[in-house]
Amino acid sequence: MLFIQKFVDFARAHPEVPAIVDVISKLSYGELYDRAQHLAEVIASTSSDAMIGVLMEKSVDYIVSILAIHLLGRTVVPLDRSYPVERLQQMITSIDLSLCLLKQENVELTMMLDERTRLLRIDEPTVPSVGAGRIEIAAKMLDEVPAYVVFTSGTTGQPKPVMVPYRSLSTLIDWMVKAPGQAGTTLLYAAQGFDVSFQEIYSALCQGDRLLVITDQQKKDLHELNRELVSAAVTRLFLPTSMLIPFVTFNLHDSRVLADLQEVICAGEQLKISPVVRQWFKAHPQCLLINHYGPAETHVVMEHRLCGEPEDWPDLPPIGQVIQASTAYLLDDELQPVMPGTNGQLYIAGRSLALGYYGMSAHTAEKFVTHPQTHERMYNTGDICVLNEQALFEYKGRRDRQYKVRGYRVELKEIETVVADSELVDDCLVVARQSGRATTLILYFTAQERDQDLSMTLHTHLTARLPDYMLPSFYKKIAAIPLTQNGKVDLQKLPQIGGLRSHISSSYVEPCSELESTVCELAASCFGLDRIGANDNFMEIGANSISLISLLAELRYVLAYDFRQTDLFEYPTPRLLCASYQYSLDTTQRVAPAVAPASNRKQRLATIQRFQEKKGG
């Protein structure tokens, strides 16, 4: 059954059940359905175009817009307001978008949109009341119609529009939606342009769960996120893998508050089980950790549920078994099956496959191929996997220059193309390195005719054209890109950047207290550096949104003190942050806990226990 029909059937049968809540409003299923019906009528009277953009913050109105478009059997194109205007312009023009739903936006965005597409502001009183009658879904016609388009990074310098049909999303929701039972609450965490957001929305609204919508600001503030999870009694949480460790670390010293949480579903990168993850799930035995796998071109096609005692979980869990209506193949370069127990390239076939890339037939033909024996259409994921003795797929790496950064797929060639377009450099190379817990991007460039430091100029150029997760953390001018005898890039001969503080130009200042030493150790671990000094500015040594959230979580865990995210911007060095922390303790007459090294988990727990005993006494 089509996912949108599942929603309609439940809304008609149970109109009084709570469906959705955001920071300012809440709707029952009946009210949500009525609003989506009304907006669908308005869209139908405004435009007959298939692809409809949605550019607004996550809210009840955002969900109403998605439902309205799907009621009409058309295609949702989610547009993230946080992206640079030039990036949004590329996305809109690449698919010839002719209608975009929005609420009040800034002048620059509105001007850009107005030049390229028709705008329908759903918050204006001039939106007509059509009253054309209930819209019925043409289920038989929709299987091969795109339900949504999401954009992935591409090697050409342009984002690739992936068309995912109603068939694919319906297959996923059919698999996820269980028999009706006790209603739960799902948090809408994923960004608008991330395919997981559709999974969150419809896996909740197709089985009578409540959908909790929070703002991006609340999502990035772990204090606010935890408060919302507790107050709304959230039962299911989808998290990018990169956020799992910061989330459980931040929450760990107050482990009982998330007693309602039953499932944490991770996707986006290889899942890694650290000691703090084991500790948190041991303290939350009611909560199941689930690993999902699937690129945008297939959505979720594998699942692995981590069962048993957390101490027994592997450090790198498998990506699991193939879900219903999908098939996985491990093949060699000749598309022949590999021997059991050996690595092969992972190909996916079945009802989950996307239609391809809009307007990019050559790219579609390259990635979507035919199985030589079964003649099935397959997608070449580019991932190297192995089938283990338990018949579970394990991820082993990639063969190309595609990486996952903060859960997003990044083609390094796309960044290099945008750098070359600046005409500031002669040649360039982007390298992805694992730094601590995060994947760090490093830009090497040559510029023979320019003596000045181009790092800030290049960063400004990229910031105006690429989303935040595609921006390099380090920029390094070199004399030439080193090559092997065969003419390939010699990565071993590139100067080492990231991981060593010696590559940072500012002078190193030793921490002068145990507290400063601990904060410096924590920050170095989170930012992927061997050490940082007491006066090093977090923002200038390669910090990004994920590493800052990780640092915030570690600080709360070690010092048992509720730092806020704004503290890291107001006091952006270890010395300033420590001074602010000590001042807060002095003014409230609280006693600072004896700090423990970041690597010693038992000592850190003892620190927290002592501090809590002092607070209680």
Co-location of 415 and 338 in the same domain: no
Q: What is the pLDDT of residue 488?
A: 74
Q: What is the pLDDT of residue 105?
A: 66
Q: What is the pLDDT of residue 112?
A: 78
Say which CATH number the domain at 333 has.
Answer: 2.30.38.10
Query: How distant, in Å, are the alpha carbons of 34, 40, 42, 68, 126 from that of 133?
Result: 11, 11, 11, 14, 20
Q: Which H or E element spans position 147? A: strand 146-152
Boundary (domain end) residue, out of 440, 473, 498: 498
Co-location of 175 and 26 in the same domain: yes
Q: What is the pLDDT of residue 343?
A: 92
Q: What is the pLDDT of residue 547?
A: 80
At 500, is the pLDDT very low, low, confident or very high (cuts 50, 70, 90)?
A: low
Q: What is the pLDDT of residue 595?
A: 45
How many CB atoms within 10 Å of residue 614?
13
Q: What is the pLDDT of residue 138?
A: 72
Co-location of 75 and 162 in the same domain: yes
Q: What is the pLDDT of residue 253?
A: 67
**Is 284 inside a domain boundary?**
no
Q: What is the pLDDT of residue 601?
A: 41
Co-location of 222 and 84 in the same domain: yes
143 or 402, higher pLDDT? 143
Residues with Cβ within 8 Å of 91's Cβ and at least 6 positions away in sequence, in order, are 77, 79, 83, 151, 159, 161
Q: What is the pLDDT of residue 125?
A: 52
Q: Which of 345-359, 485-499, 559-573 has the lowest mean pLDDT?
A: 485-499
- Give the pLDDT confidence of 552-586 residue by residue, as tens digits: 888 887 887 878 878 888 999 999 999 999 888 87
β-pairing verdict for 160-165 and 356-357: antiparallel
**Is 404 inside a domain boundary?**
no
Tokens of 166: 């109603």
**Is 414 inside a domain boundary?**
yes
Segment of 46-55, 253-262, 353-362 carrying the highest mean pLDDT: 353-362
27 or 404, higher pLDDT? 27
Residues with Cβ within 8 Å of 72's Cβ and at least 6 positions away in sequence, in order, are 40, 43, 44, 135
Q: Which domain holds residue 464?
A: 409-498
At 130, is the pLDDT very low, low, confident or very high (cuts 50, 70, 90)?
A: low
Co-location of 67 and 162 in the same domain: yes
At 180, is the pLDDT very low, low, confident or very high (cuts 50, 70, 90)?
A: low
Say which CATH number the domain at 590 has.
Answer: 1.10.1200.10
Q: In what order do the strands lie in the sheet with 302-306?
A: 26-28, 18-21, 210-213, 185-188, 236-240, 263-267, 288-293, 302-306, 321-322
What average pLDDT does this structure show over 315-337? 95
Residues with Cβ within 8 Å of 404's Cβ and at least 6 positions away in sequence, in order, are 268, 269, 270, 410, 439
**Is 258 inside a domain boundary?**
no
At 214, is the pLDDT very low, low, confident or very high (cuts 50, 70, 90)?
A: very high
Residue 448 has pLDDT above 50, yes or no: yes
**Is 309 inside a domain boundary?**
no
- Give the pLDDT confidence of 513-548 residue by residue, as tens digits: 989 999 998 888 888 787 889 999 888 777 777 788
Residue 141 has pLDDT above 90, yes or no: no
* DSSP secondary structure string for all residues of 198-215: HHHHHHHHTTT-EEEE--
Q: Which of 94-103, 421-430, 492-501 has the lowest mean pLDDT?
A: 492-501
Q: What percent of the chain has pLDDT over 90?
A: 50
Give me the phi and psi of 306, to 5 degrees please.
-85, 115
Between the two ends of the chain, the Cα-to-Cα distance in Å is 60
**Is 195 inside a domain boundary?**
yes
Residue 287 has pLDDT above 60, yes or no: yes
How many folded domains does the chain comprise? 4
**Is 254 inside a domain boundary?**
no
Boundary (domain end) residue, out of 374, 398, 422: 398
Q: Contact 358/95 with Cβ under 8 angstroms?
A: yes
Co-location of 37 and 129 in the same domain: yes
Tally the C-alpha atoms within 13 A of residue 454's C-alpha that lie toward its C-beta: 22
Q: Which of 121-135, 170-184, 398-412, 425-439 has the lowest mean pLDDT?
A: 121-135
β-pairing verdict for 26-28 and 51-55: unpaired
Quick one: which of 325, 1, 9, 44 has its CA closest to 140?
1
Co-location of 532 and 435 in the same domain: no
Residue 367 has pLDDT above 50, yes or no: yes
Please provide the average confidence, as pLDDT, over all residues in the chain: 86
Boundary (domain end) residue, out of 234, 264, 297: 234
Say which CATH number the domain at 473 has.
Answer: 3.30.300.30
611 or 56, higher pLDDT? 56
Q: Contact 174/1 with Cβ under 8 angstroms?
A: yes
CA–CA gap between residue 98 and residue 218 (Å, rounded): 32
Residues with Cβ within 8 Å of 164's Cβ and at least 6 positions away in sequence, in order, are 146, 147, 148, 149, 150, 195, 296, 299, 354, 355
Residue 142 has pLDDT above 50, yes or no: yes
Residue 434 has pLDDT above 50, yes or no: yes
Co-location of 491 and 394 in the same domain: no
CA–CA gap between residue 105 and residue 524 (Å, rounded): 39
Task: Confirm whether pTM is higher than 0.75.
Answer: yes
Co-location of 36 and 70 in the same domain: yes
Say which CATH number the domain at 98 has.
Answer: 3.40.50.12780
Co-location of 493 and 522 in the same domain: no
CA–CA gap between residue 8 and residue 131 (Å, rounded): 18
Q: What is the pLDDT of residue 562?
A: 79
Segment of 74-88, 295-309, 429-443, 444-458 carrying the highest mean pLDDT: 295-309
CA–CA gap between residue 301 and residue 151 (Å, rounded): 19
Q: What is the pLDDT of residue 545?
A: 74
Q: What percent of the chain has pLDDT over 70?
A: 89
**Is 144 inside a domain boundary?**
yes
Tally the C-alpha atoms within 13 A of residue 616's C-alpha that lie toward its C-beta: 6
What average pLDDT does this structure show over 224-249? 91
What average pLDDT does this structure show over 9-25? 95
Co-location of 184 and 210 in the same domain: yes
Q: What is the pLDDT of residue 591?
A: 53
Co-location of 490 and 527 in the same domain: no
